Structures are given as C-alpha cells and as structure tokens.
C-alpha cells in the first residue's frame, strides 16, 4: 500500500498489487502539508494541515481517529515521527518546531531558532535529537530529553 496526501484535502491509499485506489479520505477544512506513518498502532497515518491540526487516520475508519491542536490556527509545514512512535515533531509557519507526546496528547517542547518556515524534519534513531531545516537556509539540531512528564529543548 502507498499513501499520499495533498493540498486538495485528500488522503488516498493505493494498492500497488492491484493498481487500484483502495481508500480515500477527505478533510473538510485545510489541505495537507505533510504525512508520516506509524508502525505500532492502528492509527497509522499522521498528517499535518494548513489549518493547524495534526490528524491521525486509521485506514479502516472514515474520519480522523485523533486530532492534535496547538491551540491557535497556523499553517503546519512538515511532520516527522520519532523512531519509538511516541513523539511527533511538526514544523510551523511561526518558524518553530513543536513536539507532541502522542501518549499524553500534549505539546512537550517548542523549539525556536529559525527565521523562516520549517521545510523538513528528521529524528535521530534514539529519539534524543530532532534536525530541522528551514527556508532561512539554517539547519538546527535540537537536543530532546524527556524527564518525567516534562521535556526540555
């Protein structure tokens, strides 16, 4: 299966063996700007949107099964899931990287350092660093430590 999403607000799943579309989901609000896939859960796709939400999709359910909201409407630009699938980093139009704890469903870190939109994100294999690349031509490496219920940047 191959999943795709786009600014037209659609998430489409294709079956490469049959060469057919096997699933189609539509977001009624903002278009999608990024997507990543979980391996540990039925909530297997995470998407970011133009209206400031991270949506989690189960391929067998029509509507999102989880919505993460940062509390204000802003364009999310990209998304990256940690190797453990516990944390998700999201690039935002306010030049910050926000990190959610998917278990607690809350933002545990806000990383500020770019002067342009975040273009791409990647986690280190040990979940202790996030690398962000911005349209400002900066590459930032963020150390990430979770202590108890709080994380620091």
Among candidate residues 90, 80, 78, the one with its CA nearest the CA of residue 124: 80
Asked if residue 95 lies in contact with residue 114, where contact means CB atoms within 8 angstroms, the answer is yes
Query: φ, ψ for residue 140 (rounded to 5)?
Result: -115, 140
Give the count of beta carbons closer than 10 Å to the beta carbon of residue 149: 9
Per-residue pLDDT tens digits for 117-147: 899 999 999 989 999 999 999 999 999 887 4
Return the bridge partners of 3, or none.
13
Task: State how far the Cα of 132 lies from the Cα of 151, in Å rounded to an integer.
Answer: 18
Give the count of beta carbons closer than 10 Å to the beta carbon of residue 32: 21
Give me the mean pLDDT over the 39-65 stretch.
77
Residues counted in the chain = 153
Among candidate residues 17, 34, 124, the one with its CA nearest the CA of residue 75: 34
Asked if residue 21 lies in contact with residue 4, where contact means CB atoms within 8 angstroms, the answer is no
Asked if residue 41 lies in contact with residue 29, where contact means CB atoms within 8 angstroms, the answer is no
Among candidate residues 123, 127, 97, 100, the one with its CA nearest the CA of residue 112: 97
Indicate the pTM of the whole model: 0.79
Per-residue pLDDT tens digits for 61-115: 777 778 887 766 788 889 999 988 889 999 988 899 999 998 889 999 999 999 9
């Amino acid at each position: 299966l191959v999943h795709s999403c786009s600014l037209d607000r659609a998430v489409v799943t294709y079956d490469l063996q049959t060469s057919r579309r096997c699933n189609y989901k539509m977001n009624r609000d903002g278009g999608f700007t990024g997507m990543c896939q979980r391996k540990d859960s039925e909530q297997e796709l995470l998407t970011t949107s133009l209206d400031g939400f991270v949506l989690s999709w189960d391929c067998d359910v029509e509507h999102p099964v989880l919505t993460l909201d940062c509390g204000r409407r802003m364009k999310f630009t990209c998304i990256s899931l940690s190797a453990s699938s516990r944390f998700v980093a999201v690039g935002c139009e306010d030049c910050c990287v926000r990190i959610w704890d998917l278990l607690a469903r809350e933002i545990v870190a806000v990383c500020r350092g770019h002067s342009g939109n975040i273009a791409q994100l990647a986690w280190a294999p040990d979940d202790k660093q996030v690398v962000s690349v911005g349209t400002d031509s900066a590459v930032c490496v963020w150390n990430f430590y979770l202590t108890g219920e709080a994380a620091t940047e």
